[in-house]
């Protein structure tokens, strides 16, 4: 049966074709459709090609109606069911007319300006591939590639591409794919995206990375359905993995790039299959099949030299596979499933518009009620016995790896799961001074169990997130610490300690121009930033008794307990005055003042108010709500007196100016110093990764 097309015929080509493979998505296709119809790229500049892979849930008719309603930019192709995404993607690629091709899964969505941004970047740089920042609500995907945008790069010059997500969040130049014969393998249920992405990376002359705006959204389905969560057929999975290995070996020379790609595939597509937290939940029969298939692949395709650059946990898994020890691999998976990240917030404050947080982070076995440790013996460090000696029967040296511990502050939006990595300075990796190696005539050095803990200081600038170019979007942004060491990565909510006297608080802040109110909410369950916070959230965070009076009478000026960024603008608000004689609204502004926020208003327009003193209650109207300011007195229609607020003296005003200047200088010097130290650490990691030492 030949494919049947519904939609416009051939004509002048659009700039980009979006190819969407479709099989029984039901209502979960609606966000995908809405995101395409809502693109800011003009409709004549793109086309969407839905390839229906034999859907039986009414989706085919839904797509035909869509194509009829939007015939200028929507096409639908119906094909017999193929059972995997590769065939419909290839059909869509063959039918595409755009200069570029963007692949999109039917239960995912694009940001409104995604096509406009990626096409512009590709046009600027003559890109073969544009890798897009994404948000993932379905499964955890690495975001470290997206610390800054890169206009022009190559795979050899940016080997970190191998460690990034190899999924569909990419734009390809169509002629480039056709020139190199890059198509999706058909019949694969998983890894077909990886095959195409790696093939394209290895052939591309120009790869661009768009990191300052999220373009692709992996959505979470309410029915829990997602292709990446489906059970796999182990023999077929590793047969397909072998084809990817064949591709890498055919397209690369022996060296650091090939080694890095092989290590990534080995970690993610082989070792994680027999070691992640789901492995222990498999049936005994499925687990045995997975173990046997993984072991066979490892013995046939992976030499001893290929595991030298692997992390400690991966090396332990490789050894257990080679030595045919499934019980040890299961024990290791159980222990890793019990390991969780911890992060304790010790301080948080605003400095020159930057949210500065300090914390301690570590890794803890929840069932054992103890931290992950390394055993210090002389000048060496060995992996925790629960992850090495118990499952493997021998110790594993991790001395070099302990120097590579990495901690990031991650801010994650609750609704979309969009993440931004925030640069952080990592303190001492472990609180231990390594003893010198024992020498002849001296007693052996004492073994010591040292907890893997680190201090962290991070700087979050809400007006310059995402590589320093993008203001953070409105919403609730959870604050988490990501700890990566020894092949273990864990996220931990940033919590305030539960002990007495451990409460950490931080003022709300006025940031940016146009100005926005950001409220830090710090607690024992976790911490977050409320951006464009509601009046209720602002009111809960304001300590009004600490507000100070600058002026009253015909000109009211109150220094609120809020911080202000150096580039913050002034926000128009209102002051509600309520008394037994009526209610009035004064026009007012919130404006920055040497790192603080001042509420200012001219007292006028109180029509109908008799002369004399009138007790009143004042409240600030902001963000569709009211915040109580406190009691006051009106002396006729032109003078307002505040009760209960202490007046700020001239000497205190001078001190505020000096403190603001000192804080700005200190923040700048701290960030420069910390960045220089971390740059040296990054350089050291790159040198080790490339095998130069």
pLDDT digits (tens, 9 = 90+) for 307-348: 778 999 999 999 999 999 999 999 999 999 999 999 999 999
Q: Which residues, listed in sequence order, are joined to residue 4 by a DSSP beta bridge?
A: 78
Q: Say if residues 485 and 470 touch (Cβ distance below 8 Å).
A: no
Distance CA 94, CA 294 (A): 35
- Residue (of 432, 430, 454) closest to 445 by Cα position: 432
CA quadruple 21, 27, 28, 34: dihedral positive or negative?
Answer: positive
Please state the φ and ψ torsions of residue 655, each to the nearest 5 degrees.
-65, -40
CB burial readout 46-56, b (16+ within 10 A) else e:
bbbbbbbbbbe
Apex 233 CA angle, 227 and 238, nearest 5: 100
The Cα 521–Cα 527 span in angstroms is: 6
558 with 599: CB under 8 angstroms?
yes
The answer for 61, left when phi > 0, alpha when psi is -120 to 50, beta otherwise, is alpha
The answer to whether the beta carbons of residues 365 and 386 sit under 8 Å apart is yes
In whole angstroms, give the CA distance from residue 643 to residue 633: 7
Residues in the chain: 693
Residue 509 host element (H or E): strand 509-511
For 396-452, the pLDDT digits (tens) are 999 888 878 888 899 999 999 999 988 777 775 544 444 434 444 444 456 788 888
pLDDT at 350: 92
Q: Which residues pair with 457 in a beta bridge?
A: 358, 425
| Residue ranges for the chain with pLDDT beneath 70 | 1-12, 223-230, 304-306, 428-446, 500-502, 607-608, 667-668, 670-693
Residue 511, number of CB atoms within 10 A of its CB: 27
* pLDDT of the residue at 560: 95
Tell me the whole-structure pTM to 2 decimals.
0.87
* pLDDT score, position 176: 98
Contact 367, 391 (CB under 8 A): no
Closest CA to 557 of 516, 591, 606, 533: 591
Residue 311 Cα distances to 103, 116, 330, 565, angstroms: 33, 40, 19, 42
Cite the beta strand spans of 512-645 per DSSP E: 516-522, 527-531, 548-551, 555-564, 571-579, 582-593, 596-602, 613-622, 625-635, 639-642
The rounded distance, in Å, linking the Cα atoms of 176 and 153 is 16
Q: Classify 467 in phi/psi space as left (phi over 0), alpha (psi -120 to 50) or beta.
A: left
C-alpha–C-alpha distance, residues 200 and 275, integer Å: 29
* DSSP-assigned letter for residue 268: I
Residue 440 has a pLDDT of: 45
């Amino acid at each position: 049966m030949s494919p049947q097309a519904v939609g416009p015929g051939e004509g002048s080509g659009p700039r980009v074709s979006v190819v969407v493979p479709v099989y029984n998505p039901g209502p979960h296709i609606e966000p995908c459709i809405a995101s395409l119809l809502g693109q800011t790229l003009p409709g004549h500049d793109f086309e969407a090609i839905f390839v229906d892979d034999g859907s039986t849930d009414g989706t085919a008719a839904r797509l035909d109606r869509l194509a009829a309603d939007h015939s200028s930019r929507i096409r639908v192709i119906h094909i017999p069911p193929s059972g995997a995404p590769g065939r419909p993607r290839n059909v869509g690629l063959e039918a595409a007319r755009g200069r570029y091709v963007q692949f999109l899964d039917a239960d995912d969505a694009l940001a409104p300006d995604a096509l406009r941004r990626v096409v512009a970047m590709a046009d600027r740089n003559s890109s073969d591939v544009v890798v897009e920042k994404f948000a993932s609500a379905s499964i955890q995907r690495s975001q470290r590639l997206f610390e800054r945008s890169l206009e022009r790069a190559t795979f050899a010059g940016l080997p970190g591409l191998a460690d990034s997500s190899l999924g569909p969040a990419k734009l390809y130049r169509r002629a480039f794919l056709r020139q190199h014969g890059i198509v999706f393998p058909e019949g694969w249920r998983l890894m077909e995206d990886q095959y195409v992405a790696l093939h394209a990376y290895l052939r591309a002359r120009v790869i661009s990375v768009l990191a300052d705006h999220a373009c692709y959204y992996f959505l979470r389905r309410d029915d829990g359905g997602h292709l990446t969560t489906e059970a796999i057929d182990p023999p077929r999975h590793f047969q397909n993995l072998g084809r990817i290995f064949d591709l890498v070996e055919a397209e690369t020379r022996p060296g650091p790039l090939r080694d890095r790609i092989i290590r990534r595939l080995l970690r993610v597509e082989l070792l994680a299959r027999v070691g992640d937290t789901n492995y222990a939940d498999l049936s005994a029969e499925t687990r045995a099949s997975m173990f046997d298939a993984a072991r066979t692949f490892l013995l046939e395709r992976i030499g001893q030299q290929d595991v030298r650059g692997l992390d400690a946990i991966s090396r332990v898994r490789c050894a257990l596979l080679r030595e045919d020890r499934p019980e040890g691999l299961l024990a290791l998976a159980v222990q890793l499933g019990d390991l969780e990240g911890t992060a304790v917030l010790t301080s948080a404050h605003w400095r020159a518009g930057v949210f500065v947080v300090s914390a301690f982070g570590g890794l803890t076995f929840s069932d054992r009620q103890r931290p992950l440790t390394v055993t210090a013996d002389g000048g060496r460090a060995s992996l925790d016995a629960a992850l090495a000696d118990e499952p493997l029967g021998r110790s594993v040296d991790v001395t070099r790896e302990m120097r590579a511990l990495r901690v990031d502050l991650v801010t994650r939006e609750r609704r979309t799961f969009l993440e931004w990595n925030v640069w952080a300075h990592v303190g001492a990796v472990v609180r231990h001074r390594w003893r010198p190696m024992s020498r002849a005539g001296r007693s052996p050095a004492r073994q010591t169990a040292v907890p893997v803990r680190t201090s962290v200081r991070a700087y979050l600038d809400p007006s310059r997130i995402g590589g320093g170019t993008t203001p953070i979007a409105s919403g609730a942004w959870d604050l988490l610490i990501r700890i990566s060491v020894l092949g273990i990565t864990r996220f931990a909510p940033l919590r305030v300690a539960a002990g007495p006297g451990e409460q950490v608080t931080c003022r709300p802040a006025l940031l940016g121009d146009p100005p926005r109110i950001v409220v830090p909410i710090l607690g024992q369950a976790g911490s977050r930033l409320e951006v464009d916070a509601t009046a209720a959230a602002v009111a809960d965070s304001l300590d009004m008794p600490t507000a100070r009076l600058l002026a009253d009478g015909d000109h009211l000026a109150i220094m609120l307990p809020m911080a202000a960024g150096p580039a913050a603008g002034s926000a128009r608000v209102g002051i509600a005055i309520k008394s037994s004689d009526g209610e009035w609204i004064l026009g007012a502004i919130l404006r920055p003042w040497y790192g603080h926020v001042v509420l200012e208003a001219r007292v006028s327009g109180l029509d109908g108010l008799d002369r004399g003193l009138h007790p009143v209650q004042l409240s600030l109207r902001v963000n569709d709500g009211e915040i109580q300011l406190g009691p006051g007195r009106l002396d006729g229609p032109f003078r307002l007196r505040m009760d209960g607020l202490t007046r700020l003296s001239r000497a205190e005003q001078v001190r505020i100016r000096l403190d603001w200047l000192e804080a700005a200088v200190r923040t700048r010097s701290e960030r420069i110093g910390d960045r220089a130290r971390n740059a040296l650490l990054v350089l050291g990691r790159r040198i080790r990764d490339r095998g130069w030492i």
